[in-house]
Amino acid sequence: MENPWTIAQHQFDIAADELDLSPGIRQTLRVPQRELTVNFPVKLDDGSIRVFSGYRVHHNSSRGPTKGGIRYHPDTNIDEVRALAMWMTWKCAVVNIPYGGAKGGVVCDPKAMSMAELERLTRRYTSEISILLGPERDIPAPDVNTTPQVMAWIMDTFSMHKGYTVPAVVTGKPINIGGSLGRNEATARGTAIVVREAAAQLGLKLDAARVVVQGYGNAGAIAARLLHEQGATIVGVSDSQGGIYHKGGLDPQAVRRYKDANGTVVGFPEADRVSNAELLELPCDILVPAALENQITGANAARVKARIVAEAANGPTTPEADAILYDRGVLVLPDILANAGGVTVSYFEWVQDLQDFFWSESEVNAKLERIMVASFEQVRAIALHRKVHMRTAAYLLAVQRVAEATTTRGIYP
């Protein structure tokens, strides 16, 4: 599997070459601003103590405080977190919100831990990285295997250290402690909006489109539902256990209920079982990778049948696959655009917390719609004008904005 940090730097280099960035700015933006690695003990339910490793990386803060999720996964590592932090910088810049990029991770298997163990792990990890956190400094959010409850524990731990409640230190919180309406659906809603816009440009009617979704967690399942509500037929979905396919269409809500009850989509009645690898190659018009990195590669890109690939996940397509898909006329909606709805509504949540004034869900969704449509149009215009694929276009827009901010601020001291 390709190293995600190598991929992230390669994607940046393509944009830096196109923009003819000065060597100094290029060196500055090519590496993280700061990295923290922590090793901390957690008492498990059986009374034993285990040491866990965690990370928090800030890629760039030229445009504002750093922003980015925290993931709990047995395979996470510092290079993955570096890549995700860099992608967050570009993602925030593409949608033009005043944040830099950050990311965090803890090496653990949350599925093998109790809620009490997860709470103790979260609170100790928060204490270890709290030197970096704050509403004006660095604002975490949910990511793979972290939830609004995990964000509540982070907020509470940080607040206990401060001696007063600090809701704006995290986003993706439960509504009753300062979360935003519309945040839970935001990543998927943003993806659905750019899919709708892209389909219209290609002359593809959504009510005649077949959709495959890889990864049936929060983003994938909600994206399936939202696209289904627009008339699309969901023909295949998967999770970490495997996938299901039914060419006549699946009811995404029924599949979600089945997964909630059984822990997986595998075994859903009247659907054929497929592997995650096979799922990516199913006949469809729109493919939504909503799982992990490195899913569409040089090895399988030639067999992807979709006309649109909408990256609800971070980094699912490798640079080699990008080139193959572009040559085949497949429109890839890159992660830093397609899944930017999550950080956009996280920004709305942060603003609401800072001013102690909250918006209705319809207001949140209307603001998200406006930003996602405008961002899609800007990226598409650059892609057509410069004759590059959408990822490079998105990078050109984002890197230019961050480079200009860095240049305007100058180098301290």
Report the C-alpha gap between 32 and 54 in whole angstroms: 16
CB under 8 Å to 369, separation ≥6 — which residues?
193
Q: What's the whole-model pTM score?
A: 0.95
CA distance 180 to 25: 36
Is residue 81 within 8 Å of 105, Cβ to Cβ?
yes
Q: Side chain identity at 95, as an amino acid letter?
A: V
How far is 392 from 209, CA to CA, in rounded Å?
26
Q: Please report how many Cα atoms fall inside a 13 Å half-sphere around the Cα of residue 6, on the Cβ side.
A: 7
Q: pLDDT digit of tens for each residue in the chain (413 aa)? A: 789 999 999 999 999 999 999 999 999 999 999 999 999 999 999 999 999 999 999 999 999 999 999 999 999 999 999 999 999 999 999 999 999 999 999 999 999 999 999 999 999 999 999 999 999 999 999 998 999 999 999 999 999 999 999 999 999 999 999 999 999 999 999 999 999 999 999 999 999 999 999 999 989 999 999 999 999 999 999 999 999 999 999 999 999 999 999 999 999 998 999 999 999 999 999 999 999 888 999 999 999 999 999 999 988 999 999 999 999 999 999 999 999 999 999 999 999 999 999 999 999 999 999 999 999 999 999 999 999 999 999 999 999 999 999 999 999 99
Name which of 329, 316, 262, 270 is nearest 289 in CA terms: 316
Beta strands in 220-268 (DSSP E): 233-239, 242-250
127 burial (CB, 10 Å; 0-12 / 13-18 / 19+) is middle
Query: How many other C-beta atoms are found inside a 10 Å radius of the C-beta of residue 261?
Result: 8
Beta bridge partners of 333: 310
Catalytically annotated residues? 103
Torsion angles phi and psi, residue 289, rounded to 5: -75, 115
Nearest to 118 by CA among 106, 102, 100, 133: 106
Lookup result for tokens 């990511």: 143
